[in-house]
């Protein structure tokens, strides 16, 4: 039998299984003001190995063609965001620059809600296609995008180099909005 390491939640369920008893917090989705850049940068650090600086995030948020949505717990407008997603729009196409959910809030549907809000807004802007690039080894993210009907359109072998020296492919995906 394959020796598969499984991490368990405190309730005993494997972390790669949805917990049917866990509901997401009630969240509100809003456009991020540049003043939230520091908190988005802190959240990014919790989600990725590489840092994304406050100044760079603030600079992006201020650009007219960038859409940055954050999720906050309802009733806690001053609390740090639970999740963020950033998209760049160019003509009738858009690209997801980054998306991350606080590790303690994952697998409760927050990323799905943010991406649904983004596609709703892009649709209103008459954007035709939404692209993204994801590490093929990032199973949670690949599953998320497939569930939202993104299609795989290209693969770039050995694109990502990990700290342990291993390499993995990048998957380019596209969602048709019209
Ligand atoms: C990828 C990420 C954004 C998903 O956020 P999330 O809020 O947990 O996702 P959702 O709860 O909306 O999950 C939607 C679907 O994604 C898939 N998924 C999410 N987490 C998963 C996991 N740990 N294992 C397997 N599939 C997973 C499932 O298909 C899930 O649907 P289901 O729960 O009905 O089975 C989150 O894990 C994250 O922030 N990861 C670190 C940053 C990152 O990798 N960003 C993407 C870069 S391209």
Place of tokens 């600086």: 53
- The pLDDT value recorded for residue 23 is 66
In this predicted model, what pLDDT tens digit does every residue of 97-117 receive, in sequence order? 999 999 999 999 999 999 999
Average pLDDT, the chain: 90
- The pLDDT value recorded for residue 25 is 85
- The pLDDT value recorded for residue 39 is 98
Is 3 part of any domain?
Answer: no
Is 89 part of any domain?
Answer: yes
Domains: count for the chain: 1
In this predicted model, what pLDDT tens digit does every residue of 31-55 receive, in sequence order? 999 999 999 999 999 999 889 999 9
How many A from CA of 15 to the centre of ligand 1? 11
Residues 6+ apart with CB under 8 A from 18: 107
Q: pTM of the prediction?
A: 0.91
Residue 49 DSSP SS3: coil
Is 17 part of any domain?
Answer: no
Mutate to test the pocket of ligand 1, among 4, 116, 144 (most ligand atoms within 8 A of CB): 144
Is 117 part of any domain?
Answer: yes
Query: Which has the minimum average pLDDT: 9-23, 134-148, 153-167?
Result: 9-23
Is 112 part of any domain?
Answer: yes
The helix (run of H) or strand (run of E) holding residue 33 is: none
CATH number for position 160 = 3.40.630.30
How many A from CA of 57 to the centre of ligand 1? 22
How many A from CA of 26 to the centre of ligand 1? 18
Q: Which two three-digit tokens encode residue 70? A: 């954050």
Is 7 part of any domain?
Answer: no
Distance of CA 139 to the CA centre of its chain: 13
- The pLDDT value recorded for residue 21 is 62
Is 85 part of any domain?
Answer: yes
pLDDT for 15 beyond 70:
no
Rounded to whole angstroms, the Cα distance separating 3 from 105 reads 28
Is 14 part of any domain?
Answer: no
Q: Which domain holds residue 56?
A: 27-176
């Amino acid at each position: 039998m394959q020796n598969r390491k499984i991490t368990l939640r405190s309730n005993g369920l494997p972390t790669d299984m949805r917990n049917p008893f866990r509901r997401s917090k009630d969240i509100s989705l809003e456009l991020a003001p540049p003043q939230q850049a520091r908190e988005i940068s802190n959240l990014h650090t919790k989600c990725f190995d590489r840092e994304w600086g406050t100044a760079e995030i603030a600079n992006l948020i201020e650009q007219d063609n960038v859409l940055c949505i954050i999720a906050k717990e309802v009733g806690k407008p001053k609390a740090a965001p639970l999740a963020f997603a950033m998209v760049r729009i160019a003509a009738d196409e858009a690209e997801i620059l980054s998306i991350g959910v606080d590790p303690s809030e994952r697998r409760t549907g927050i990323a799905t809600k943010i991406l649904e809000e983004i596609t709703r807004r892009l649709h209103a802007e008459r954007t035709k296609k939404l692209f993204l690039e994801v590490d093929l080894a990032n199973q949670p993210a690949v599953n998320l995008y497939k569930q939202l009907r993104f299609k795989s359109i290209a693969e770039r072998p050995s694109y990502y180099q990990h700290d342990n020296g291993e390499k993995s492919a990048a998957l380019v995906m596209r969602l048709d909005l019209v």
